[in-house]
Amino acid sequence: MPETEVFRLTKFETGTSYFFAIYTRREGRHPNEKYFTSNELEYVGEYIRSERWGYGDGGGGAEIFVKSGIEVRIVYTYEGTTCFKEAAITG
């Protein structure tokens, strides 16, 4: 499968649709790193809210989307490999 560039987003727009994937390769150095996945992108729906809990190594977070009327919760990996890509579709 060909690689697709994905992004480690921290700000999402309410009502905007997104895809989710775990990155499989990165290139460059911070702050100019680029992330790519050879995994299939998963459509997760429209962004509705974020959740954060704890702090430091005990902290975590999730992004909440709605797809076909059902909430989809994507929890960030500890390793920081969780990525998203804005979808050109809505609904």
Domain count for the chain: 1
- Say what the pLDDT of residue 4 is: 95
Catalogue the E-assigned strands of 1-91. 4-6, 17-22, 25-27, 34-37, 42-53, 60-67, 70-75, 82-86
Q: Is residue 60 part of a domain?
A: yes
Q: What pLDDT does 91 receive?
A: 47
Evaluate whether 44 touches 14 at the Cβ level (below 8 Å): no
What is the mean predicted confidence (pLDDT) over 50-72?
94
Q: Is residue 91 part of a domain?
A: no
Assess whether pLDDT exceeds 60 at residue 90.
no
80 falls within a domain: yes
- How far is CA 31 from each of CA 35, 67, 83, rounded to the nearest angstrom? 12, 32, 16
| Residue 71 belongs to some domain of the structure | yes
Q: 66 in a domain, yes or no?
A: yes
Q: Which domain holds residue 21?
A: 4-86
Give the C-alpha separation, 63 to 47, whole Å: 7
Is the pTM higher than 0.85? The answer reads: yes
